[in-house]
Amino acid sequence: MADLLKQQGNKAFAEKQWDTAIDLFTQAIALDPTNHVLYSNRSGAYAAKKDWDNALVDADKCISISPNWSKGYARKGAALHGGHKYDEAIAAYEEGLKIEDSPGLRKGLQEVQQAKEAEAADEGAAGIGKIFRDPGMWAKLAANPKTAPLLNDPSFAAQLRMMQANPQLAGNAFNDPRMITVLGVLMGIDMQAFAREEGSDELPPGLKKEDAPAPSSSKPTPTPPKPSQPAADVKMADPEPEEPEEEDEEAIAKKSALAEKAKGNDSYKKREFDAAIESFKKAWELWPKDITFLTNLAAAQFEKGDYDGAIATCETAVEEARSLRADFKLIAKALGRIGTSYFKKEDYDNAIKYFQKSLTEHRTPDILNKLREAEKIKKESEIRAYINPELAEKAREEGNAKFKAGLFADSVAHYTEAIKRDPSDPRAYNNRAAAYTKLAALPEALKDAEEAIKVDPSFVKGHIRKSLVLHSMREYTKAMEAAQAAQDADVDKKHAREIDDQMQKISLAMYTQRAGETEEETLQRAMRDPEVASIMQDPVINQILQQAQQNPAALADHMKNPVVNAKIRKLIAAGIIRTR
């Protein structure tokens, strides 16, 4: 239930429904309060809401539960960064980097360091530079008849934007008489006070001599009288749009990047991977804010067979996605593609590692199946690497020695090692079955006897062992079938005496068990065996049995058919057909 709530919370987070995500993560935490990932996810949702205090509380809780999980420190660093606690944020990121050299942690550390430097620069910008940071600057200038015409000059407007973006450039304002007019309007000072007769050294209050404009060779124009009409009738220039030109350029870059992506997709569909790679690379260079450019690039590299290139691209995608706070599904996709690339390289350890990372971000059936396949192949490869027939024989002999000494549990351990070293040798299974029988672990013994037969169907001792185990389990009908199978496998009759003795032993046990049984009771007991019941429902067998009642010799002819022979022998062993 907690996992389901987590998935729903992740979905709400992706849809920017922060409050819903927080509520769902809170419900999940109530069910699973020791799950550090839930606190991490809720911290991220609080951070998205800019609720830095709660984001920090959850980040600290995440770290307390799992102090060796580096992402918890990334959450803490982000919360402290958002709260303008830059030194503490830097310490959190550095602590996380001690645990894991994560690109996300490095990126977060770089961002908070830059923010700290930027804030210090802003605090250092004093005096006149702060005037240009006035958010209502453009409106004031557009409303004043002295400065409104100046805004029609694109180069002058661009100069104002530069000073607004970087107050330290304001020191050059006094080199341009138009800027002095702008300063006067923004400061609320009558700029006519700055006009002075040639040769006069008198300066307006608050203006230093070195900052004053150079004197003009001509006398200043007298201040025109204020218009008599209301301010609403004064014709003013349209205000400069507050949106900077850079955003227009960014929109153009984004449009060009998406066009390149479309070209890349078209090339990819045509399996022209080199062309697709170039298009996706160009798209990212034009507008490095869409992670799908990188994931598509990695897909093209993967299809081309450049698995190392795909891995490097996806690592960049994960790093950039975290810095851009992109959808966690994109991060999961990039991590999954890294895992798939390692899988193709037959590096199953790293494949498993990145599949697990991908599932931590977002669970999908595709990645889960790939994880299971990688784990299966890794296990099989480890088994193959462990195989050594010589060491297997040595372990089996050591098991035999322990068995003869009556140390059956110890012999099981040695036989198990022999099986791991050479699972194609039926003798180790057979010997372990004997040891399990001595330990009265009959189901385990039966399983090993059947495995020995599976490894080598002609292994007579395996059939005999199965018969012995079934006899011990009082499954006399099945024990007789196993003995008959041993007789069939014993082509050179090396074990004929042992098999005959076993059959006589089983027959005696069956006779003792069935003594006093009526034919009806025998039939009822036999029919409790599903296999016997199935044979009795076979119309061909029923016809053969009816024919045998009239002509017993005909049964021998029918038993020349191997399939019929097996079924008839099963019925004989069950006591349904009685022989003399």
pLDDT score for 250: 72
Residue range(s) occupied by CATH 1.25.40.10 in the chain: 2-124, 248-379
Distance CA 196, CA 454 (A): 112
Average pLDDT over every residue of 70-82: 92
Helix (H) or strand (E) run with residue 500 in it = helix 496-514
**CA distances to 34, 139, 162, 210, 248 from 244, in Å:** 48, 15, 10, 32, 7
Are 543 and 578 contacting, i.e. CB atoms less than 8 angstroms apart? no
pLDDT at 146 exceeding the cut of 80? yes
Residue range(s) occupied by CATH 1.10.260.100 in the chain: 521-580
Identify which has the larger pLDDT, 464 or 161. 464
Average pLDDT over every residue of 162-167: 74
Distance CA 400, CA 463 (A): 20
Residue 273 token pair: 């991977």
CATH 3.40.640.10 fits 2-124, yes or no: no
Identify which has the larger pLDDT, 396 or 130. 396
In the structure, what pLDDT confidence band is assigned to residue 210 with cuts at 50, 70 and 90? very low
pLDDT score for 271: 94
CATH topology of domain 521-580: 434 Repressor (Amino-terminal Domain) (1.10.260)
Average pLDDT over every residue of 260-271: 94
**CA distances to 136, 142, 226 from 236, in Å:** 16, 7, 14
Distance of CA 229 to the CA centre of its chain: 70
pLDDT at 239 exceeding the cut of 60? no
**pTM score, two decimals?**
0.42
Identify which has the larger pLDDT, 557 or 28. 28
CATH code for the domain defined by 248-379: 1.25.40.10
Distance CA 87, CA 120 (A): 13
Distance CA 212, CA 194 (A): 9
Distance CA 13, CA 26 (A): 13
Average pLDDT over every residue of 24-41: 92
pLDDT at 238 exceeding the cut of 60? no
Distance CA 396, CA 422 (A): 10
Average pLDDT over every residue of 408-430: 95
pLDDT at 572 exceeding the cut of 80? no
In the structure, what pLDDT confidence band is assigned to residue 173 with cuts at 50, 70 and 90? low
**CA distances to 339, 343, 354, 377, 493 from 373, in Å:** 12, 10, 14, 6, 46
Max mean pLDDT among 126-135, 244-253, 527-536 falls in: 527-536
pLDDT score for 101: 81
**CA distances to 50, 345, 384 from 349, in Å:** 39, 11, 16
Encode 234-267 in three state secondary structure. CCCCCCCCCCCHHHHHHHHHHHHHHHHHHHHHHH
In the structure, what pLDDT confidence band is assigned to residue 510 with cuts at 50, 70 and 90? confident
In the structure, what pLDDT confidence band is assigned to residue 174 with cuts at 50, 70 and 90? low
In the structure, what pLDDT confidence band is assigned to residue 554 with cuts at 50, 70 and 90? confident
pLDDT score for 579: 63
pLDDT score for 167: 67
Average pLDDT over every residue of 481-490: 92
Which of 21-35, 196-210, 441-455, 537-551 is predicted with the least confidence, judged by mean pLDDT?
196-210
